[in-house]
Amino acid sequence: MSTQTQTNLVDLNLSLQDIKAGERIARLYEVYGENLVASTSFGLQAAVMLQLLHDYAPKVPVIFIDTGYLFKETYKYAKQLKAAYPLDYHTYYPAIAPAAQEAKYGKLWEQGEDGNQQYALINKIEPMNRALSELNAQVWISGLRREHSSTRATRSIIEQQRNTVKAYPILDWSDAQVDAFFAINDLPEHPLKAEGYVTMGDWHSTEKPKKEGDKESTRFGGEKYECGLHLDSGNQDFQI
């Protein structure tokens, strides 16, 4: 990253600090325009970001990575949210289908850290890299929040991650702020929230918390929280 780019990001980050989440999105669109994309997982807080995008930057393409291993409730929720927020959705799938993956590799999520890393590369990182390339994205808006996990506690609102600039408009929101936004705007909730889920991902790597408030135990058997999309280490050469 060039010194000029670093300086620009520092200045932009400072300008985003003291404005509201929707205004951050509007500002990002003002600066980056057609080179801006967003992503959604149709997870527990997805309606928040989709509402904000709908209100402040409705032309921004929204990327959805469909691993083929999502909960059936997530697919139903996706259909509901797409109807409520008719944005420019782009669904991307892994280059190798789930059945073919399992025939070739077995159940990667049961094969320890190496298996989980390969699973993330095939099902999340490669499709996202392909989406970013095909949509000519320079800046990717994501709904990460610092309260999600310890790995996100020191993030900046906008930062360089590998070859892409990442922006997090609700990074500094608390769980209480998210709940309040749902209530004030009467947003539909993911069906599995009522069953006690506090995070959402693939069915085989997501579970209810073992104790109240312990989000990090809910993913990958408590061994880690990130799937690879939001870590600087997730840029390995992709091969299948």
Average pLDDT over residues 86-91: 98
Task: pLDDT band for 131, please (50, 70, 90 cuts).
Answer: very high
> According to the model, what pLDDT value does residue 44 have?
95
**Structure token digits, residue 44:** 């527990």
Distance CA 58, CA 85 (A): 9
**CA atoms of 27 and 15, how far apart (whole Å):** 9
Q: Which of 99, 82, 92 is nearest to 46 (CA)?
A: 82
Residues 6+ apart with CB under 8 A from 105: 111, 115, 118
Does residue 240 have a pLDDT over 80?
no
- The burial class, CB within 10 Å (0-12 / 13-18 / 19+), for 73 is middle
In this structure, the number of other CB atoms found within 10 A of the CB of residue 22 comes to 16
What are the structure tokens assigned to 132, written together? 């970013």
Identify the pLDDT of residue 36. Answer: 97
Give residue 221's pLDDT band: very low, low, confident or very high (50, 70, 90).
Answer: low
Helices (H), the chain: 3-17, 21-32, 46-56, 72-84, 98-105, 112-120, 126-134, 175-185
State the pLDDT at residue 225. 46
Q: Annotated catalytic sites, by residue?
A: 227
Model-wide pTM > 0.85: yes
Contact 132, 34 (CB under 8 A): no
- C-alpha angle with apex 28: 23 to 31, nearest 5 degrees? 125
> Residue 161: which pLDDT band, with cuts at 50, 70 and 90?
confident
pLDDT of residue 162: 75
Give the chain's domains with CATH numbers. 3-222 (3.40.50.620)
| Higher pLDDT, residue 219 or 200 | 200
Task: Please check whether residue 52 is in contact with residue 21, taking contact to mean a CB–CB distance below 8 angstroms.
Answer: yes
With a cut of 50, say whether residue 235 has pLDDT above it: no
pLDDT higher for 100 or 232?
100
Arithmetic mean of pLDDT over the chain = 87
Task: For residue 228, name the pLDDT band (cuts at 50, 70, 90).
Answer: low
| Percent residues over pLDDT 90 in the chain | 75
Alpha carbon of residue 70 to chain centroid: 14
Spell out the long-range contacts of 205-208 with Cβ–Cβ below 8 A and sequence spacing 24 or more: 205/109, 205/116, 206/71
